[in-house]
Amino acid sequence: MSRSILVITGWWFLLLVMAIEGLGVNWGTMALCGTDTDTRISIRRIRIRGYGSFPNNPIRGYMDVDFEEENLRSLQIEEDEGPIRPSSRIRRRIRIESEVSRPNTAQLADTPRIPMANHKLPPKTVVQLLKDNGINKVKLFDADQSTLSALAGSGIEVMIAIPNNQLSAMNSYARAKDVVRRNVSRYNFDGGVTIKYVAVGNEPFLTSYNNSFLNTTFPALANIQNALNEAGLGDSIKATVPLNADVYGSPETNPVPSAGRFRPDILPQMTQIVQFLAKNKAPFTINIYPFLSLYANEHFPVDYAFFDGVATPILDNTIQYTNVFDANFDTLVSSLKAVGLGDMEIIVGEVGWPTDGDRNANTNYALRFYRGLLPRLASNKGTPLRPGYIEVYLFGLLDEDIKSIAPGNFERHWGIFKYDGQPKFPMDLSGQLQDKYLVGARDVTYLPKKWCMMRPDAKDLSKLGDNINFACTFADCTPLEYGSSCNTLDANGNASYAFNMYFQALGQKDTACGFQGLAMVTETNISQGNCNFMIQIATTSSSTRLTLLFGLTLLLLSLSLL
């Protein structure tokens, strides 16, 4: 038998799967039948994914199924690297393509059909959260004015960003100068924002982007840095490009860090970028995710993702590598050395561990990861090829309930704080292992203590699948993922979780807990064990934008956090 991943799209099948999964059915063997197919597979694991938005755009739904193949004679097998970061390992997929159309909303007439509300902590609350925990450097994912205004006068050092969809515009020097003027120069005053870096794009060379930003990234980088130089800011503010770790690797014939090289297909662009960074004394920024190495390959040794030792280290000449972080980082060092810049400064722009949405994404593993990482940062141990201090940003600060889950359901759960700014687990940012809970966000206002649940006396369960699917289209149901915090709920629990998430996302509107007579409002907390049925944050304005602080990373400096 061979292990693979089956990826199936199609509205009719997605509804069926989500309905059955929502009812908590234990899968055994299932037959996929069609005009050209009569395939029997033994289901091992199911992972539901979807992205898109109603009502104007279709939903693309995916079901990932771990299975034992018996006969797949008429389905096409393709190699798909997908959006996995940072591993460049190829996953086998079988794909049946179709587009997911809008559900029959006429049958859901009692359920509000509006986009999911964004309930966010006010920027000032988040900035105070950073200060209360001694976090003095942050990385943002754009340059939102409300966020930067809240950071003004805080003394917190900031990396702002230019999103990938603006790289093409930054190929115009006039546009680049305007961005520097609006997002950098205007905050450069006593009591303003301490901007240290401008991130030009975010992982623009991911293989899943199909070279979309291949020829626009370097011109954008050059124009931003030159605009900073022209504004008299270039000595203190540097432009950099946060890159994914799939821009380099070692050959299969010699898979060790010392053999690291940049990907041949982007070698000219990478060489151009690193030479420009070196010329302007700017750092190389890399995102490293041990979790994704584990997520992408079920045969990946679990202990190698952490820092507490492995039975069989990777031997590279005389160096023993006991964790993937060191090996990945040193593969980059070797890649830089191969283009003549082995001493270039390197910043780790993102590293972290999610706490939900996958069987390996949980608080126990996250705590284990940080208990290994933070003391290493505090000790300035570095890596075998780059001993000493390394600047590292943790990803991320808060969970993100509307982030795309195309890479995986875990994408919404990277925060060391929950959605409401409350700590998830004890951790010591100083790296001294004096574990205690971080200081939570102050004065958070919640909606009333009301939940939406499935009616115990519900009769017509034929509508349940459509309603669960509808709720999860607009709300976050990723904790129902296999191995996640709410995976053990029964059929009623699954439905109640989906209904409540939708109810909370829409601000507890009375009409948001109908679901064709299947749901009711209760004032009794229906949380079960580790599965929390949330009460959403109350917001004073739905137009408040805090994208950056919901996509925030924090830099941990061992000395500054003591």
Indicate which residues carry an active-site annotation: 203, 350
What's the CA gap between 328 and 246, in Å, rounded? Answer: 10
What's the CA gap between 418 and 550, in Å, rounded? Answer: 11
What's the CA gap between 137 and 148, in Å, rounded? Answer: 13
Give 550's DSSP letter.
H
How many CA within 13 A on the CB side of residue 408? 25
Name residues whose C-beta falls within 8 Å of residue 35's C-beta, 6 or more positions apart in sequence.
none
**∠ Cα 358 363 369 (to 5°):** 95
Is the torsion defined by CA of 429, 418, 130, 200 positive or negative?
positive
The 3-state DSSP class for residue 358 equals strand
Pairing of strands 194-200, 238-240: parallel
The Cα-based distances of 214 to 218, 219, 245, 250, 288 in angstroms read 8, 10, 16, 22, 21
Three-state SS across 361-427?
ECHHHHHHHHHHHHHHHHHCCECCCCECCCEEEEECCECCCCCCCCCCHHHHCCCCECCCCCECCCC
What's the CA gap between 368 and 21, in Å, rounded? Answer: 30
% helix, strand, coil for the chain, step of 5: 30, 20, 50
**∠ Cα 404 408 409 (to 5°):** 75
DSSP string across 111-136: S---PPP-----HHHHHHHHHHTT--
What's the CA gap between 515 and 499, in Å, rounded? Answer: 8
Q: Tell whether omega for the bond before 407 is within 30 degrees of 0, i.e. cis.
A: no
What's the CA gap between 84 and 289, in Å, rounded? Answer: 10
Q: Nearest-CA neighbor of 452 among 510, 496, 487, 390?
A: 496
Pairing of strands 284-287, 346-351: parallel
What's the CA gap between 553 and 384, in Å, rounded? Answer: 26
CB-CB neighbours of 263 under 10 Å: 16
